[in-house]
Amino acid sequence: GQQLNQSPQSMFIQEGEDVSMNCTSSSIFNTWLWYKQDPGEGPVLLIALYKAGELTSNGRLTAQFGITRKDSFLNISASIPSDVGIYFCAGLNTGGFKTIFGAGTRLFVKA
């Protein structure tokens, strides 16, 4: 079945640093989604990408839908302590009922 490889698995950074994480797949997706999960909470949608090459921002977050439709990245600029959490990428295709998730990137920010 379809799988997403998300990297890095975890990141330890200093407050104020920029962060970059990515997701790759061996198959094509029509939509890429990025979620953030705080401890003990459900994941919250951050950014949705619908078109190859699309670059979308949400505050300090920027995500891109890869040209090949097999990858996506998420950047966080000027990280702050509340950015701590697990970030999941997800892909879906037209006609499919399942959203495919990456294993998550655990972000730790030191003040």
Partner 1 sequence: SQTIHQWPATLVQPVGSPLSLECTVEGTSNPNLYWYRQAAGRGLQLLFYSIGIDQISSEVPQNLSASRPQDRQFILSSKKLLLSDSGFYLCAWRRGENEKLFFGSGTQLSVL
By the criterion CB under 8 A, which residues form the site for partner 1?
A: 30-31, 33, 35, 40-45, 48, 88, 90, 92-99, 101-104, 106
With 0-12 CB in 10 A as exposed, 13-18 as middle and 19+ as buried, what is 9? exposed
Instruction: Write down the least CB distance from residue 56 to partner 1, Å.
Output: 13
As measured in angstroms, the least distance from the Cβ of 74 to partner 1 is 16
3-state SS, one letter per residue, for 78-111: CCCHHHCEEEEEEEECCCCCCCEECCCEEEEEEC
Least distance in angstroms from the C-beta of 68 to partner 1: 19
Closer Cβ to partner 1, 44 or 78, answer by number:
44
Return the number of the residue (66 or 104) whose C-beta is nearest partner 1.
104
Instruction: Give every CB contact of residue 15 below 8 A, 6+ residues apart in sequence.
Output: 79, 80, 81, 109, 110, 111
* Comparison of 77 and 84: residue with beta carbon closer to partner 1: 84
